[in-house]
Amino acid sequence: VYQPEIIVKQFTFEKWTMLKTFLSAVAASFLVQALLSCVRAWKPAFRATRKEFFCGSCHCGNVRGSASTILGAFILGAGMAFGGACPGTVFAQLGAGVWQGAVTVA
């Protein structure tokens, strides 16, 4: 999806193309993570990652965890809604001559 109109309509709940794509990717990721978490050699890595993400830590002024993830997702979504461009498709927009892609890169 590189057309700015479709990206903006996603945020006004008029088009569902991007949501279907994202939810498919999330479902596939959940499946792979669930399968990998059952492998004995991977269990310590999964526990450490879960503890780091959910418990959070303060290292060099960076706070990690759910709050920073939610804030980052909000900022990304607001930028996509206002700019009509997604970071993943901005180069496709440039190649197609869509002016919103050039504004987003600038």
- Give the per-residue pLDDT at 8: 81
Mean pLDDT per 10-residue run, the chain (106 residues)? 79 84 91 84 81 61 68 88 81 85 80
Cα–Cα distance measured from residue 85 to residue 18, given in angstroms and rounded to the nearest whole number:
12
- Give the per-residue pLDDT at 63: 58
- Give the per-residue pLDDT at 75: 92
- Give the per-residue pLDDT at 28: 95
- Give the per-residue pLDDT at 25: 93
- Cα–chain center distance at 58: 23
Cα–Cα distance measured from residue 89 to residue 19, given in angstroms and rounded to the nearest whole number:
15
